[in-house]
Amino acid sequence: MSHDDIILQVRNLRKYYPIEQGFTRRRVGQVKAVDDVSFNLHRGEVLGLVGESGCGKTTLGRCILRAIEPTSGEVHLTTRSGSMVNLLQLNKKDLRALRREMNMVFQDPFSSLSPRMTVLEIIGEPLRAQGVAAAEVESRVKDMAERVGLNPGHLNRYPNAFSGGQRQRIVIARALATGPTFIVADEPVSALDVSIQAQILNLLQDLQEEFNLSYVFIAHDLSVVEHIADRVAVMYIGRIVELSTTEDLYLNPRHPYTEALLSSVPKPDPRLVEDPMILTGEIANPANPPSGCYFHPRCKYAQDICRQVRPELKEVTPGHSSACHFAAELELKGVPSE
């Protein structure tokens, strides 16, 4: 019963995609989609994973669940029985048995639901895959549907009869059907309108409390992440550049990229006249990243050392890590709390 607080331990996780060229598919390079990522997730905790498109946040989420086979690294999950298992070393059969303890919520509720299956079949699918008897499936699906706010009388309908918000409830019910302890939620609200987004965020929070779930919550919207996450990891070109408790990250960012991200978000307040900090350029090509710190070409604080030496993710203050050579010296601007 060691590590009883930690539900997921990710160590040096890497996913490299080869770049092949020509008829012989000669290997000419590689894209480091996820590059040496390590973090812990505690039981009942929400870890927000933010970054811009192409930073590797979705690949990381999928590698954790082995929906994509990672190149190397370790992913330890604390199972229900209390033992820690390295998911990457499991064979197919053992992994399949463990699937009931972890699941995924996808971004787009229009493409992640089969149009040829009824809602009952969709939510019941993971149960059937786990060998639950057919008679029991229906009652458990009904129970689950009610908990996520779906009308159990509508279970024989097809997904096209539901609105975007309702479909996302179906996706969530499917993810929770087998009673998992750990969920990877990949942009679960970004396809939804704001008024619906609030409903789904509240639902995810309620379910988390009810079932004591742990989430890896992937999103690009920093206000959504601040709202739901206990800790936040910021990714840039395959690496975590900053990791901290949510409050501290937003108040006292320790990485220039985080500072720029926070400043770039348009705030819904017309009386704020502050000019956002504008980053020059765009995310570098991950197939050919810059030398030293990947962020240095866009960083206004960059020095010579940043062009040459890649900074490691190090703890700056207790519980707050940053991969910046000047993390301790720089006075970066966060979002003041109201």
Instruction: Give the binding site for other proteins (CB under 8 A).
Output: 52-53, 163-166, 193-199, 201-202, 205, 220, 222-224, 226-230, 246-247, 250, 260-272, 276-279, 282-283, 335-338
Helix and strand counts by DSSP (H, E) for the chain? 10, 12
CB-nearer residue toward other proteins: 116 or 271: 271
> How many beta carbons lie within 10 A of that of residue 153, not counting itself?
9
Q: Cite the DSSP H helix spans in 68-221.
A: 92-98, 119-129, 134-147, 164-176, 194-211
Least CB distance to other proteins at residue 71 (A): 26
CB-nearer residue toward other proteins: 64 or 145: 145
Least CB distance to other proteins at residue 200 (A): 9
Least CB distance to other proteins at residue 251 (A): 9
CB-nearer residue toward other proteins: 52 or 138: 52
CB-nearer residue toward other proteins: 75 or 260: 260
CB-nearer residue toward other proteins: 61 or 165: 165
**Distances 82 to 78, 86, 182, 187, 270 between C-alpha atoms, Å:** 6, 13, 14, 29, 51
CB-nearer residue toward other proteins: 4 or 269: 269
Taking the C-alpha atoms of residue 63 and residue 74, their distance in angstroms, rounded to an integer, is 10
CB-nearer residue toward other proteins: 22 or 268: 268
Residues 84, 77: contact at Cβ < 8 Å? yes
Least CB distance to other proteins at residue 231 (A): 11
3-state helix, strand, coil in the chain (%, to 5): 35, 25, 40
Least CB distance to other proteins at residue 162 (A): 10
CB-nearer residue toward other proteins: 131 or 268: 268
The number of CA neighbours under 13 Å toward the Cβ of 151 is 6
Least CB distance to other proteins at residue 302 (A): 16
Residues with Cβ within 8 Å of residue 209, at least 6 apart in sequence: none
Least CB distance to other proteins at residue 135 (A): 33
Taking the C-alpha atoms of residue 113 and residue 164, their distance in angstroms, rounded to an integer, is 11
The number of CA neighbours under 13 Å toward the Cβ of 47 is 27
Taking the C-alpha atoms of residue 334 and residue 234, their distance in angstroms, rounded to an integer, is 14
Q: Cite the DSSP H helix spans in the chain.
A: 57-64, 92-98, 119-129, 134-147, 164-176, 194-211, 222-228, 246-251, 256-264, 304-308
